[in-house]
């Protein structure tokens, strides 16, 4: 099977993301699991492909959220996946939630979507065998298993195609498992993605 190679990540258009897609993360946030996908947007220009994370000066509480991300091709199908950090200014998010305001400030700031390199779905193997892990300063902080997703990636794709102007070169973030936490200048993040015992991807980021 031939796959269209993902373009330079600078060309990413929309970043569709889903909140509360793992029950353990919803529990740690003390929120209910949604009955239909809770979709929000991050700006396509918030994507970063380097290994540096620059924290916004105006937030004192930027959290890591490690997630599996899918590339959407011109046929509006998934062809590649990688790991992404859905960086979240938790203080701005709490304020927005309290006031009933949108999450844009919390979710879509400059540099808020670091991405790893793309792996074809063929190489990645079955969804249910995918597991991922984030270490902060050598300590494991997040462990995820794709089979624990409340809404599977294909269901999320159908949902966003039904409701939004999805286009080729968009990406979809599929939600984070429990263990989110704050980042500080000097932190080292290391993320891995596995299919069963097979390591698919390793990424690292330095927090500036
Ligand atoms: Zn997230």
pLDDT digits (tens, 9 = 90+) for 136-146: 999 999 999 99
Say how many Å lie between the CA of residue 104 and the centre of ligand 1: 13
d(CA 129, CA 139): 23
d(CA 151, CA 165): 20
At 20 the pLDDT is 94
Domain residue ranges of the chain, discontinuous segments joined by +: 14-207
Placement of tokens 């980042």 in the chain: 183
At 97 the pLDDT is 95
Say how many Å lie between the CA of residue 65 and the centre of ligand 1: 5
Could you tell me if residue 76 is left (phi over 0), alpha (psi between -120 and 50 degrees) or otherwise beta? left
Say how many Å lie between the CA of residue 174 and the centre of ligand 1: 7
Say how many Å lie between the CA of residue 88 and the centre of ligand 1: 8
d(CA 191, CA 1): 29
Does residue 149 have a pLDDT over 80? yes
Say how many Å lie between the CA of residue 193 and the centre of ligand 1: 17
d(CA 20, CA 16): 14
What's the token pair of residue 151? 């809404």
Classify residue 20 by its DSSP letter: S
List, as ranges, residues with CB under 5 A of the ion ligand 1: 65, 86, 176
Does residue 10 have a pLDDT over 90? no
Q: Which of 180, 183, 197 is nearest to 66 (CA)?
A: 180
The CATH class that applies to domain 14-207 reads: alpha beta
Could you tell me how far CA 7 lies from the centroid of its own chain? 18
Say how many Å lie between the CA of residue 64 and the centre of ligand 1: 9
d(CA 89, CA 165): 26
Say how many Å lie between the CA of residue 2 and the centre of ligand 1: 30
Model confidence pLDDT, tens digit, residues 73-85: 999 999 999 999 9
Whole-model pTM: value is 0.95
Q: Alpha carbon of 195 to those of 7, 30, 43, 114, 147: distances in Å? A: 24, 30, 29, 21, 12
Does residue 172 have a pLDDT over 80? yes
Q: Partners of 198 in the beta sheet?
A: 195
Say how many Å lie between the CA of residue 175 and the centre of ligand 1: 5
């Amino acid at each position: 099977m031939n796959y269209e190679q993902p373009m330079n990540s600078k060309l990413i258009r929309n970043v569709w993301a889903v909140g509360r897609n793992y029950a353990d993360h919803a529990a740690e946030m003390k929120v209910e699991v949604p009955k239909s996908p809770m979709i929000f947007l991050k700006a396509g220009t918030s994507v970063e492909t380097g290994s540096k994370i620059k924290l916004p000066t105006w937030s004192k509480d930027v959290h890591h959220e490690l997630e599996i991300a899918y590339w959407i091709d011109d046929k509006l199908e998934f062809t590649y996946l990688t790991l992404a950090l859905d960086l979240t200014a938790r203080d701005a998010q709490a304020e927005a939630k309290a006031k009933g305001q949108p999450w844009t400030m919390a979710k879509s700031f400059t540099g808020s979507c670091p991405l790893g390199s793309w792996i074809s779905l063929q190489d990645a193997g079955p969804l249910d065998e995918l597991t991922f892990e984030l270490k902060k300063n050598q300590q494991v902080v997040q462990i995820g298993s794709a089979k624990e997703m409340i809404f599977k990636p294909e269901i999320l794709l159908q949902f966003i195609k039904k409701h939004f102007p999805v286009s080729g070169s968009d990406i979809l973030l599929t939600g984070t498992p429990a263990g989110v936490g704050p980042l500080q200048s000097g932190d080292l993040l290391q993320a891995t993605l596995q299919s069963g015992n097979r390591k698919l991807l390793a990424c690292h980021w330095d927090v500036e």
